[in-house]
Amino acid sequence: MPEEHRAACVVGYPIAHSRSPMLHGYWIDRYGLDAAYRAEEVRPEDFAAFLANLSARGYVGANVTIPHKDAAFRLSEPDQRARAVGAANTLWFEGGLLRSTNTDVEGFTASLDAAAPNWDKRTHEAVVLGAGGAGRAVVYGLIERGVECIHLVNRTRAKAEAIAASFGLAVRPADWRDLPRLLDGGALLVNATSLGMSHAGQLDIDLSGLADDAVVADIVYVPLTTSLLAQARRRGLATANGLDMLLHQAVRGFELWFGRKPEVTQELYDLLAADIEGAPA
Ligand code: ATR
């Protein structure tokens, strides 16, 4: 193996559905790097041993996906974002230490930056649907970017209250029935629930009350255009989808492992979009 050869992987169980190898493989080819990015299927009971041997296996770092994000957090030195979310999805070595972060946070905010530059300058309040792991990353990203008030709507109110308890007064737990009032004149709506995914229930929300320059984001990427995003586009609002977030969350790992900050381009989006749309439902 030549000196400069570097390899990283995505670790999950199962892993066949992951788009990360296609995404990182595209960048490796595009920049002509002597690098590799592989998928590793690792059972939960084998994950700790896999991580302990990550370097010995020839890896300079890894992405981690379901069901290993919590274990990756516990078995590494997390940064502030990973600590805030309580889960890690990107690992790398630094001075012999295995460090970790959660790039869903910046993946989400970078997708908003791409869809609606300067969104944060005009967004003082936001409405976030969903208080699971994705909702936590979204809420933390909004707080990082200075959003002062985040109405967090969740079916199970206790989960929204737990996020409010750890993130402070900016987070206001709310219920679905509060939505019409919360969306009136609203600047930003984010769906961080699984509603809208193929085979899941649909989101049926009236967006007519949102401000004319509002932004609507959806973490779902199968389908690429959920009914929520279709409605937002019909109103002429800026939108970001789950694929935008997936592409942007991958940038940091690639840069950490391979030393080059990759670009999220329309060509890359189209490649992944065609793969998602062509996959069996
Ligand atoms: P993730 O880590 O991707 O966020 P999760 O932790 O399972 O996944 O969270 C899924 C989110 O979708 C939660 O906010 C969940 O609401 P609950 O916390 O009440 O379970 C939300 N969700 C899923 N199905 C839903 C449904 N039919 N109606 C309302 N909310 C739903």
User: 110 CA to middle of ligand 1, Å?
Assistant: 23
Of the chain, the percentage scoring pLDDT greater than 70 comes to: 98
pLDDT of residue 40: 98
| C-alpha to C-alpha distance for 150 and 164, rounded to whole angstroms | 10
Q: Do the two domains 6-102+249-278 and 105-240 of this chain adopt the same fold?
A: yes
Greatest alpha-carbon span in the chain: 61
DSSP lists the bridge partners of residue 93 as: 98
Name the superfamily (CATH) of residues 105-240.
Answer: NAD(P)-binding Rossmann-like Domain (3.40.50.720)
Q: Determine contact, residues 251/101, Cβ cutoff 8 Å.
A: no
By alpha-carbon position, which residue is closest to atom 18 of ligand 1?
156
| C-alpha to C-alpha distance for 208 and 221, rounded to whole angstroms | 23
| C-alpha to C-alpha distance for 183 and 277, rounded to whole angstroms | 31
| C-alpha to C-alpha distance for 243 and 269, rounded to whole angstroms | 8
Distance of CA 179 to the CA centre of its chain: 24
Q: How many Cβ atoms from other residues are within 10 Å of residue 185's Cβ?
A: 10
121 labelled catalytic? no
Residue environment code for 261-278, b if the CB has 16+ CB neighbours within 10 A, otherwise e: ebebeeebbeebeeebee
pLDDT of residue 1: 46
The residues of the chain scoring below 70 in pLDDT are: 1-3, 281
Q: Take residue 56 and report the two structure tokens written for it.
A: 């010995």
Residue 252: its H or E element? helix 242-258
6-12/35-41 β-pairing: parallel
Q: Take residue 220 and report the two structure tokens written for it.
A: 């779902």
pLDDT one-digit tens code per residue, 232-273: 999 999 999 999 999 999 999 999 999 999 999 999 999 999
Q: Take residue 63 and report the two structure tokens written for it.
A: 């992405």
pLDDT of residue 281: 61
Q: Which of 69, 121, 159, 261 is catalytic?
A: 69
**Would you tell me which CATH number, out of the four given (3.40.605.10, 2.60.40.10, 3.20.20.140, 3.40.50.10860), belongs to the domain 6-102+249-278?**
3.40.50.10860
| C-alpha to C-alpha distance for 208 and 183, rounded to whole angstroms | 9
User: 250 CA to middle of ligand 1, Å?
Assistant: 24
| Residue 130, ligand 1, Cβ within 6 A | yes
65, 155, 159, 197: which to mutate for ligand 1, most atoms within 8 A of CB?
155
pLDDT of residue 2: 46
Structural domain boundaries of the chain?
6-102+249-278, 105-240
